[in-house]
C-alpha cells in the first residue's frame, strides 16, 4: 500500500548519488551446516523465544508495539503483545482487543469472498472479468480472468493515485475509483507477476456485483461473523465501539509524532482493521478445512484449490510462486503460504504451514528506524522456522565454468510492478544491478544481509544460482532467442519479477548522462553569463541578427527550463506524503509545461549549434564546445520524452 509511495519517493535523491531501492525486505541467510534438534513447539517455549527476540528487536529498532499469535492443531497456542499501542499513554498491546491495520493482508478476506462465490458456482475463475462488471475493462493484450486477479497476472501497470487519501471524508465509491484510475495493460495476462492493488479492488467489486451486497457488508456477514471476528471492521476509522481499541501508528516510537489514521480508497486491497486474536480465528479456519468454532467459510476442497500453485516466476524450478490469493513462502523444507501487508505505520505478516496446521501472525504499529520493521518481521519468522523446523539444505555443486554466465546475466533490472504512463523516472531510480565477480559468483545490489552487504550467489545449474552459505535460489529467465530477460528469487516474496533493462534507460546510463547534461548546461550558462558581464563592463556590443537572437534566447531558456524541471521533480517528490495531496496533480501539470518549454528550448540549442558551427564566430575550440552543448540538448530532449516528463499523464 503506502509502501509503494515511500519506496518510490525514497528513490529520488541527488542525481549524482542514486541508490537503487531494494526489491523486497531481506533477512539473515540461513547457513548450511548440521541440523539442530527441533525445539518442542509449546506455549512456554514460544514465550521464551518470542519474548526475548521481539522485545529486543522493537527496542533496538524504535518500534512502538507488536503482537504475535501462533495457532496449532485447532487452538491458539501462543499470543502476546509487546511494547505499546499508544506510547504517550503507555497503553499495552493486548492480542484480543488492540486493533492493528493489516494492510494488504486484508486481501485474504477479499480472496475468501471470491472463492465463496466460486464455490457457489456464481463466479468462474477463468471467465473474462468483464462478464461481471457494469463497465468495460480494456484488454488490448489479452483476456483478463478472475484467476489473473488472484495471481496478480492481469498484465497491468501499477496504480498509485488515490490509493490512499488524506481523510475519510475523501472516500468515494470503488466503482468510480476503478473507472477513473484504470491502469494500462503492459504485459500479456498470465505471463508476468506484477502485484496489483487495483486487481484486488476489482475483485472486491466483482464480489459486490455478483452477490448484490455491498462488499464491506458481504465480508462482515460471510467471513467475520462466522469466525467470530468481533474486533474486525472495514470502516475507516473504526466505529465508536471499536475506536478506543485502535493502536496509534508511528514512523518511529521515539519521535513522539503519531501517524493519522491512514485512509485506503482501494478498500478490498487493504483497508481492514483487525485484532490479532481475530486473525487467529481466520488462520484456524483455513487450517481446519474452512471451519472455526462451528462457523464455516469455505469447503476443504476449495482451500486445497487455493493452495495450489498457479504461476511460477521461474518455470522449471522450485522457486516460490503464486497460489490463488496466497503466495508461496516455502523455506526450511516446509510448504508455507502467506501474505504480508504494509501501510506507513502499520505492518503485518501472516504465515500458514498447512501440513503441520500451524499459523503465525505478526503485526506492528511502527515502521521503525530506517524502516527496520521490514527486516524484523522477516527475521522473526525465519528464526521461528530455524528453531522449530531446523533444516540442512541439500548439497549443490557449483558449475565448472560460471564466469561466462555471470557476465551474461550482469546488468540492470527493473521491477515488473511499475507505472509506465507517468513517474517513469522514479522507477528508473529503483532499478537493481547484477554484478559479475571474477570467481564467477554474482551479486544483486538490492539483496543484502543484515550488515548491508550484498549476498553472493553461485551458479549450480544453467542460469540457476544458490546463495553462498544459504538456502535461497535465484533463476534468470531467457527468451526465445536465448537472451536473458528477467530473474526471480525465493529470497524475496513472489509479488514481482525483475526485468532486464538495456541501453540509455539503464540507471547506470541515466546517472552518468544526466549528470553530464546538467554539468554541461550549468557550465554553458555560467560562460554565457560571464560573457554578458564582460561585455557590459567593457561596453561591447553583441553582434547578432534578429533571427539568431531568437534562437539564442530559446537555447538559454531551454537549458534553464530543463534544470528547473529536474529540480522541480526532485522537490515535488522529496516529501513522501506529497503524492496524497490534491495539489500534487497541479504540480505535475506545471512541471509538464516546464518540460515542454525545455524541449522547445533544446531544439533551439540544436539550431543555434548548427548556425555557430556553420558560420562562427570562433575557432574549432568554440565550435567543439557548441557541439557538446548540442549533444547535451539532444539528450535532454530524449530524457524528457523517454521518461514521460512531457506526457501530461496524471492518472498514475
Lookup: cell for 537:
563592463
Maximum pairwise Cα distance, the chain: 95
Grid coordinates representing 59 are 527496542
Mention every residue, 6+ apart, whose C-beta is less than 8 A from residue 229: 223, 274, 278, 281, 282
CA distance 318 to 312: 8
- Predicted pLDDT at 2: 45
**Contact 530/524 with Cβ under 8 angstroms?**
no
pLDDT score, position 20: 27
| CA 327 to chain CA centroid, nearest Å | 15
Q: Name residue 467's beta-bridge partners.
A: 457
CB-CB contact of 453 with 446 (8 Å): no
- Of 157, 214, 173, nearest to 427 by C-alpha is 157
Instruction: Round to the nearest angstrom and report the end-to-end CA distance of the chain.
Output: 14
Residues 6+ apart with CB under 8 A from 202: 129, 137, 149, 178
For residues 88-125, one letter each, b for 16 or more C-beta atoms within 10 angstroms of the residue's C-beta and e for the rest, the string is eeebebbbbbbbbbbbbbbbbbbbbbbbbbbbeeebeb
> Distance between CA 87 and CA 92 in Å, rounded?
9
Grid coordinates representing 387?
528453531
* Cβ–Cβ < 8 Å for 600, 559: no
CB neighbours of 540 closer than 8 A, spacing ≥ 6? Answer: 534
Question: Residues 310-318: contacts with CB within 8 Å, 24+ apart?
Answer: 310/147, 310/150, 310/151, 311/151, 311/153, 311/190, 311/193, 313/193, 313/488, 313/494, 313/497, 314/475, 314/477, 314/487, 314/488, 315/477, 317/464, 317/473, 317/475, 318/473
Q: What is the pLDDT of residue 1?
A: 52
Q: Is residue 177 packed enough to be buried (19+ CB in 10 Å), middle (13-18) or exposed (0-12)?
A: buried
Residue whose entry in the numeric block shows the C-alpha cell 511494547: 83
Cβ atoms within 10 Å, residue 285: 24
- Residue-wise pLDDT tens digits, 251-264: 999 988 999 999 99
Query: How long, in residues, is the chain?
Result: 652
Distance of alpha carbon 112 from alpha carbon 200, whole angstroms = 12
Rounded to an integer, what distance in angstroms lies between the CA atom of residue 280 and that of residue 303? 17
CB 479: neighbour CB atoms within 10 A?
10
Give the three-state DSSP class for 443.
strand
pLDDT recorded at residue 577 = 72
CA 502 – CA 484 distance, rounded (Å): 11
Q: Rounded mean pLDDT of the chain?
A: 91
Cβ-contact 506, 412 below 8 angstroms? yes
Residue 622 pLDDT: 75
Q: What's the grid cell of residue 134?
A: 457494469
pLDDT of the residue at 642: 95
* pLDDT given for residue 16 in this prediction: 26
Summarize pLDDT for 419-456 with one digit per residue, the tens.
Answer: 999 989 888 999 999 999 999 999 999 998 877 889 99
How far apart, in whole angstroms, are the C-alpha atoms of residue 369 and residue 367?
A: 7
Per-residue pLDDT at 182: 97
The C-alpha cell that represents 283 in the structure block: 488462520
pLDDT value, residue 508: 96
Q: How far apart are CA 228 and CA 71, in angstroms?
A: 16
Question: Hey, what's the torsion of the CAs at 418, 420, 421, 426, to 10 degrees?
Answer: 60
Low-confidence stretches of the chain (pLDDT beneath 70): 1-35, 541-544, 576, 616-618
Neighbours of 230 (CB within 10 A): 16
For 353: left if phi > 0, alpha if psi spans -120 to 50, otherwise beta; the answer is: beta
Contact 130, 174 (CB under 8 A): no
- Does an H or E element contain 599, and which? helix 583-615
pLDDT of residue 31: 42
Q: How much is the pLDDT for 615? A: 74
What are the CA-CA distances from residue 630 to residues 288, 515, 524, 635, 642 (Å)?
69, 15, 11, 9, 18
The residues, any chain, with a CB within 8 Å of residue 329's CB and separated by 6 or more, are 320, 336, 337, 338, 351, 493
Say if CB 199 and CB 152 are below 8 A apart: yes
Residues forming a β-bridge with 133: none
What are the phi and psi torsion angles at 413 (to 5°)? -140, 150
Amino acid at each position: 500500500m503506502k509502501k509503494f509511495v515511500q519506496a518510490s519517493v525514497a528513490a529520488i535523491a541527488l542525481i549524482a548519488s542514486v541508490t537503487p531501492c531494494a526489491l523486497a525486505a531481506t533477512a539473515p541467510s540461513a547457513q548450511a551446516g548440521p541440523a539442530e534438534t527441533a525445539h518442542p513447539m509449546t506455549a512456554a517455549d514460544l514465550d521464551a523465544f518470542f519474548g526475548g527476540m521481539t522485545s529486543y528487536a522493537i527496542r533496538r529498532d524504535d518500534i512502538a508495539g507488536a503482537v504475535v499469535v501462533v495457532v496449532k492443531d485447532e487452538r491458539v497456542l501462543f499470543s502476546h503483545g509487546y511494547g505499546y499501542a499508544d506510547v504517550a499513554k503507555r497503553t499495552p498491546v493486548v492480542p484480543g482487543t488492540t486493533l492493528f491495520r493489516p494492510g494488504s493482508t486484508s486481501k485474504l478476506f477479499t480472496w475468501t469472498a471470491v472463492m465463496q462465490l466460486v464455490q457457489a458456482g456464481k463466479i468462474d475463475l477463468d471467465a473474462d472479468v468483464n462478464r461481471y462488471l457494469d463497465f468495460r475493462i480494456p484488454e488490448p493484450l489479452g483476456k483478463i480472468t478472475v484467476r489473473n486477479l488472484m495471481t496478480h497476472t492481469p498484465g497491468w501497470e501499477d496504480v498509485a493515485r488515490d490509493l490512499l487519501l488524506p481523510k475519510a471524508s475523501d472516500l468515494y465509491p470503488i466503482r468510480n475509483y476503478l473507472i477513473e484510475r484504470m491502469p494500462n495493460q503492459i504485459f500479456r495476462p498470465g505471463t508476468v507477476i506484477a502485484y496489483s492493488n487495483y486487481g484486488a479492488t476489482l475483485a472486491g467489486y466483482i464480489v459486490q456485483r455478483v452477490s448484490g451486497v455491498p462488499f464491506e457488508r458481504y465480508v462482515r456477514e460471510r467471513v467475520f461473523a462466522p469466525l467470530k471476528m468481533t474486533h474486525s471492521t472495514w470502516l475507516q476509522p473504526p466505529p465508536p465501539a471499536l475506536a478506543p481499541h485502535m493502536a496509534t501508528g508511528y514512523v518511529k516510537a521515539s519521535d513522539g509524532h503519531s501517524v493519522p489514521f491512514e485512509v485506503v480508497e482501494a478498500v478490498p486491497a487493504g483497508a481492514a482493521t483487525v485484532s490479532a486474536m481475530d486473525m487467529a480465528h481466520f488462520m484456524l479456519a483455513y487450517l481446519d478445512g474452512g471451519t472455526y468454532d462451528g462457523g464455516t467459510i469455505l469447503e476443504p476442497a476449495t482451500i486445497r484449490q487455493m493452495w495450489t500453485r498457479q504461476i511460477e516466476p521461474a518455470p522449471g524450478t522450485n522457486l516460490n510462486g503464486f497460489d490463488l490469493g496466497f503466495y508461496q513462502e516455502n523455506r526450511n523444507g516446509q510448504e508455507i503460504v502467506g501474505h504480508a501487508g504494509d501501510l506507513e505505520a502499520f505492518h503485518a505478516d501472516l504465515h500458514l504451514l498447512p501440513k503441520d496446521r500451524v499459523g503465525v501472525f505478526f503485526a506492528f504499529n511502527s515502521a521503525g528506524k530506517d524502516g527496520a520493521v521490514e527486516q524484523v518481521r522477516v527475521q522473526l519468522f525465519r528464526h521461528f522456522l530455524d528453531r522449530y523446523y531446523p533444516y540442512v539444505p541439500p548439497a549443490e555443486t557449483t558449475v565448472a565454468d560460471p564466469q561466462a554466465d555471470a557476465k551474461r546475466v550482469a546488468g540492470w533490472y527493473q521491477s515488473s510492478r511499475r507505472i509506465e504512463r507517468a513517474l517513469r523516472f522514479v522507477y528508473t531510480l529503483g532499478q537493481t544491478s547484477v554484478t559479475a565477480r571474477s570467481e564467477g559468483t554474482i551479486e544483486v545490489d538490492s539483496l543484502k544481509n543484515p550488515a548491508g552487504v550484498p549476498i553472493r550467489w553461485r551458479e549450480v545449474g544453467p542460469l540457476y544460482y544458490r546463495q553462498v552459505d544459504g538456502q535461497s535460489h535465484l533463476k534468470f529467465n531467457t527468451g526465445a532467442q536465448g537472451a536473458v530477460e528477467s530473474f526471480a528469487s525465493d529470497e524475496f516474496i513472489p509479488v514481482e519479477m525483475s526485468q532486464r533493462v538495456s541501453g540509455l534507460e539503464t540507471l547506470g546510463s541515466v546517472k552518468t548522462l544526466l549528470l553530464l547534461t546538467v554539468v554541461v548546461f550549468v557550465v554553458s550558462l555560467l560562460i554565457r553569463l560571464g560573457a554578458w558581464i564582460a561585455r557590459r563592463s567593457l561596453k561591447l556590443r553583441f553582434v547578432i541578427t534578429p533571427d539568431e537572437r531568437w534562437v539564442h534566447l530559446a537555447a538559454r531558456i531551454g537549458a534553464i527550463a530543463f534544470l528547473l524541471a529536474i529540480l522541480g521533480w526532485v522537490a515535488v517528490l522529496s516529501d513522501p506524503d506529497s503524492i496524497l495531496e490534491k495539489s500534487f496533480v497541479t504540480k505535475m501539470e506545471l512541471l509538464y509545461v516546464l518540460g515542454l518549454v525545455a524541449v522547445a528550448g533544446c531544439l533551439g540549442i540544436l539550431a543555434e549549434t548548427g548556425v555557430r558551427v556553420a558560420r562562427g564566430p570562433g575557432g574549432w575550440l568554440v565550435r567543439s564546445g557548441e557541439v557538446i552543448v548540442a549533444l547535451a540538448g539532444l539528450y535532454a530532449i530524449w530524457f524528457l520524452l523517454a521518461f514521460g516528463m512531457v506526457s501530461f499523464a496524471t492518472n498514475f
